[in-house]
Structures are given as structure tokens and as C-alpha cells.
Amino acid sequence: MIARRLTSILAIGLLAVAFPMSAIGHTATQQQSTADETAGGISLQQQGKTAEAVASLRAAVKRNKNDLRAWHYLGLALEQKGNAKEARKAHEKAAKLGDKLLADRLNDAQSEEEFSRRLLPIGANLAEAGASAQKYLQLAPKPSGKKLQEWQLRADSLLGFAEIANAPPGTPAVLTGKEVSVKARVLSKPEPQYTDEARNRQITGTVVLRAIFAANGRVIVIRAVSGLPGGLTERAIHAARQIRFVPAIKNGRPVSMYIQLEYNFHLY
């Protein structure tokens, strides 16, 4: 009797172990299948085999809706096929996945060293997402001024971060003002405007932004160190992205540099 009970307990235990292991194996197989479909689709797109590329990449994004590379190359393949509307949707998805990837990687970075370490592995993904953001704009029939501004800023930001991530080996991704030979030089710094909401609520104060003056001449705003309600933080970020500057120099070449920006909001 005891032997039978022990046998039953062992059998139940083995089933409990086998089930999660098989589930893990199934997940790994699914991930490999998606990766194969994506790689195959990219290869087909690059060979100009448009119909086959679209089919393979559609299968990849169906398996994994967060496959940024598959969405980017699906957009390119659909363009080749002449389907601008669907291509635009695919590029929109790829660009927004790039935004999410960037936020997930950087939002809780505690130091500049950690920021650089987290950014480096995703350089290629950010470049594809940035290219998709540009493609989205090219394929949009008549974007409104607000949407045009939003997508231009998205493309600039993603491509700027991609260039930082893809800096030559041994080069710090972003330098401080003390580490550069010549600091970035501001050419123009537009002032942000009040929102109607903030004016009506009599909101005043200072927005402080932590930003990067990138080597490619773009301002990449990382986060607001301290903000204001009523849409003023957003207005400050928009103004910061419009800054024109000469990039910092290190060892005779342009480099990206951290900078802190302050915007004062006062009612007169």
C-alpha cells in the first residue's frame, strides 16, 4: 500500500515538473519560429521577392505583435508592393515600438554609465524605428501641423539615440561638459509659450530638463527633472527640441553631450 502511494506521489510530481518544462520548450520554439520568419522575410525583401516577403513578415508579426524589425521590413515590403496605406501602418507600429523600447530601457537608469550600457544593445532597433518614423511621414497623405511636428520629433529622437548607441567601440555614448574638448555652442534657443490652461490657472515656475545635445546636431530630451502642470512641461520639451547648436568636440570630432536646460514661466 505504501509503495503504491509513493508511486502515485512520484507520478504527480513528475507531471508537475514536465508540464512547465514543456511549456517553456513550446515558448522557445515559438520564439525561434518567429525569429526565422522575420529573418527569412527580411532576406526576401532585400532580394526584391515582395509577395513572399510580405507573407513571411505578416506571419512573424501575427506571432509576435512586438517584433519591431518585422514591422519595419513589412513596411518596406508593402511599399515595394505599392500598398502605401498598409505600409504606413506597419511603419507607424515599428516607430512606436521603438519609443516603447527606448522608454523601457532608459526610464529607470540610475547613472550615466548604466544609461550607456542599456542603450548600446538596441542601436540597430532604434535606427530601424527611426527610419520607419521617417517613412511614416513620407507616406502620410497630408499630415496636420501637430502630427507632422510629433513625427519629426520622434524620428529625430530615435535616430539620435541610434547614433549614440552605435558610436565607435571604446567611445563613451554621451559625455559630460567636463569630458569634452569644446562644449556644445547654442546658436538659437526658442522660448516656450504658455498654454491657455496654465495661463487661466495662473501657473508659474521653472521646468528643468535633462537632455542630450547629440553629435548629429539634434536635441534629445531624456526626461523632465522637475516639471509644471497645465501642459507647460510639454511646451518646454517642444522648445528644447527646437534648439540649434554646434555639437561638442572630443579628439577632433563631434560627440554627444549631456546638458541641463531650464525654462522659466512667469505671468506679467
The reply to whether the predicted model has a pTM over 0.75 is no
Instruction: Determine the pLDDT at residue 25.
Output: 53
Cα atoms in the 13 Å half-sphere on the side-chain side of 201 = 14
Q: Please tell me what DSSP assigns to residue 181.
A: S
Inform me whether the pLDDT recorded for 240 exceeds 60: yes
Inform me whether the pLDDT recorded for 95 exceeds 70: yes
Query: 35 in helix, strand or coil?
Result: helix
**pLDDT digit string, tens, across residues 123-167:** 999 999 999 999 999 998 888 877 887 888 788 888 888 887 887
Instruction: Determine the pLDDT at residue 213.
Output: 92
Task: Give dist(CA 245, CA 257) in Å, integer.
Answer: 12
Task: Give dist(CA 81, CA 76) in Å, integer.
Answer: 9
CATH number of 2-165: 1.25.40.10
* Residue with the larger pLDDT of the pair 157 and 206: 206
Worst-scoring range by mean pLDDT, 108-122, 134-148, 239-253? 108-122
* Residue with the larger pLDDT of the pair 73 and 267: 73
Inform me whether the pLDDT recorded for 78 exceeds 60: yes
For residues 173 and 164, the answer to whether their CB atoms sit within 8 Å is yes
Inform me whether the pLDDT recorded for 261 exceeds 70: yes
Q: To the nearest whole number, what is the mean pLDDT of the chain?
A: 84
Mean per-residue pLDDT for 26-45? Answer: 74
Inform me whether the pLDDT recorded for 6 exceeds 70: no
Instruction: Determine the pLDDT at residue 125.
Output: 95
Instruction: Determine the pLDDT at residue 9.
Output: 36
- Of 222, 105, 122, 113, the closest CA to residue 173 belongs to 113
Instruction: Determine the pLDDT at residue 70.
Output: 97
Going from N- to C-terminal start, the domains of the chain cover 2-165, 185-265
Instruction: Determine the pLDDT at residue 51.
Output: 95
Q: How far is CA 91 from CA 88, 147, 193, in A?
A: 5, 15, 32
pLDDT cut 70: percent of the chain above it: 82
Instruction: Determine the pLDDT at residue 162.
Output: 87
CATH of 185-265 given 3.30.2420.10, 3.30.70.980, 3.40.50.300, 3.60.21.10: 3.30.2420.10
